[in-house]
Amino acid sequence: MRLFELTMKLHQFCQWPAMTRKEKKAMEKILCFWSRSEPLEIFEYGSGYSTVYWARFLQRQGFIFHLHSIDNHAVWHKLVVRMIKQKGLQEKVTLYLSEFKPFWEKAGWDWSRDPACGEFAPASEAETDYIQKPLSLKRSFDLVIVDARFRRRCLEVARQCLKSKGIVFLHDAQKSKYLEPTKLFKYSRFFDSGHYFPLERTRYQFWVGSEDNAWVTSLSVKARY
């Protein structure tokens, strides 16, 4: 755990997304799947260093794009807003806030057990607004990134707002409770994420899916760890 914490602190210091090398390579390939001459629309559940990192990557690669990102934590949201302004990305990135408590601050949460399916289901208006945000924007997306709260519900919504050939990326997909909603997509594949540092015991996974883009099942990723 100590090495993991130190690795995450390094990611924060360098403003890197909390992703393994394999996941970053996979995301680069996914983003570069699309043409640079057509506007690229992205929605991200869970704002953070990843928001800035991938916006800068797309900018360097010469893409025409807009990245929409939502978070549930007001302090973190303000931090990301500040980073976006510092990097001059205000015209490329729109940030949203739908504030509610994370699951570990809710009554009945116990770190020693895995909660039953639906035990901490969305109950407030803010939670529902968070999940439904991409639908409220009245547009379709080339890529939806799911990396925060209520991931199962977010996957269901993502399916409803994808463009033709659109792709969904699920981070930390190794949890068994995420398996069922991934079955909603015709093309679906889990990938080994590798590790954050050498000799780490925990093995992570990410998942990509699409309604009509078979390319996601042939994605090939090679990286250390």
Structural domain that includes position 10? 2-218
Domain assignment present for residue 224? The answer is no
pLDDT of residue 35: 92
pLDDT given for residue 195 in this prediction: 72
pLDDT at 132: 97
How many domains does the chain fold into?
1
Report pLDDT for 8.
58
CA diameter of the chain: 50
User: Which CATH number covers residue 85?
Assistant: 3.40.50.150
The first and second tokens of residue 201, run together, are: 């015991």
d(CA 62, CA 60): 5
53 belongs to a structural domain = yes
At 54 the pLDDT is 97
Note whether 9 and 17 are within 8 A (CB).
Answer: no
Compute the C-alpha angle 133/134/135, nearest 5°: 90
Residue 113, domain member (yes or no): yes
Whether 223 maps to a domain, the answer reads: no
Cα 20 to Cα 26: distance, rounded to the nearest angstrom: 10
Give kind and range of the element (H or E) at residue 169: strand 162-170
Give a yes or no: residue 225 inside a domain. Answer: no
* CA 143, chain centre distance (Å): 10
207 domain residue, yes or no: yes
Mean pLDDT by 10 residues, the chain (225 residues): 60 73 93 94 96 97 97 95 96 97 83 78 93 97 95 95 96 87 95 75 88 94 66
pLDDT of residue 108: 82
11 within a domain of the structure (yes/no)? yes
Whole-number pLDDT of residue 199: 59
Note the pLDDT of residue 10: 58
Q: What is the pLDDT of residue 11?
A: 60
> What is the pLDDT, as a whole number, of residue 99?
96
Domain contains 115: yes
DSSP strands (E only) in 2-148? 40-45, 65-71, 93-97, 141-146
